Amino acid sequence: MSPSPSDTASPPLLLVEGVTLQYKTVSSLITATWRVDFAVKRSERLILLGPSGCGKSSLLKCVGGFIAPVEGRVTLAGREITAPGPDRMMVFQEFDQLLPWKTVRQNIEFPLREARKGASRSDIADKAGLYMDKVGLSKFAESYPHQLSGGMKQRVAIARAMAMEPEILLMDEPFASLDALTRRNMQEELRTLWQDTRFTLLFVTHSIEEAIIVGSRIVVLSPHPGQVKAVLDADSAADDALGSDRARALHEEISAMLFAERFEKGGGI
């Protein structure tokens, strides 16, 4: 579903302006990204797509408040981001993000209790139950992480993040460790969940197919140091399905960009 004219005219929820990120090593200073600009509207699914080492995960951590830019700034709803906060919840690809000694229900309830000290037990339980149901895990509420498949663990992580009802959900290659079939199912489930709740998503991937399936817009980043190569509309391609002419054309366009940059800079995908 494409944004309505009123959505398009509204100010962005997240604004990344001229962000340069650098890391110090023992012998040198490495520039991860160079003056990156992009914006995310409310209820948008924006993808950061690019080759390994282009700084896409670093940009996500910057939005999360875990690293600070050496140049530029990031604002959320007009407020400059300077530290992590519950308005930005992250989901990673690692399965060890769950607490192994807690059940599915307890894993979802735990951050809610920490963030909402005044909330009653029943309110916390209701909220956890709502999001367990949304990701199809109500029957596994009393199961522990070691009893779950990889896809189910990621559903718990997504439910836990969404139960916090953040301004924006940040996902760093959350399905990269899953087998191909489970990964495709999770991509479709994420889109279905978005149709139900219209959350705002910033999603990192190096898979062109995943970007087209999950995203409504795609920011293509160049190889190291990452710069914005293009911003592409993906909504109609994903809605049509991957085999459509629009999806194939978009895949070819992005592939051409990434491989052209690869050979120009001598890098790898």
Task: Profile the chain (269 residues) by mean pLDDT over runs of 10 residues.
Answer: 52 96 89 96 96 94 96 97 95 84 96 85 94 94 95 94 95 92 92 93 95 95 93 75 80 88 52
What architecture is domain 5-87+166-265? 3-Layer(aba) Sandwich (3.40)
Per the structure block, which two tokens stand in for 200? Answer: 């705002």
114 Cβ neighbours under 8 A, 6+ residues apart: none
For β-strands 217-221 and 45-49, DSSP reports them as: parallel
> What is the 3-state secondary structure of 76-115?
ECCEECCCCCCCEEEECCCHHHCCCCCCHHHHHHHHHHHH
Q: Which sequence spans correspond to the domains of the chain?
A: 5-87+166-265
Confidence (pLDDT) at 115: 83
| Residue 118, pLDDT score | 79
pTM greater than 0.85 (yes/no) = yes
- Are the C-beta atoms of residues 116 and 149 closer than 8 Å to each other? no
- Whole-number pLDDT of residue 119: 85
How high is the pLDDT of residue 5?
45
Give the residues across from 170 on adjacent strands: 90, 202
Read off the pLDDT of residues 206-241 as tens digits, 9 standing for 90 and up.
Answer: 999 999 999 999 999 999 899 999 999 987 665 655
Q: What is the pLDDT of residue 2?
A: 45
Q: Say what the pLDDT of residue 13 is.
A: 97
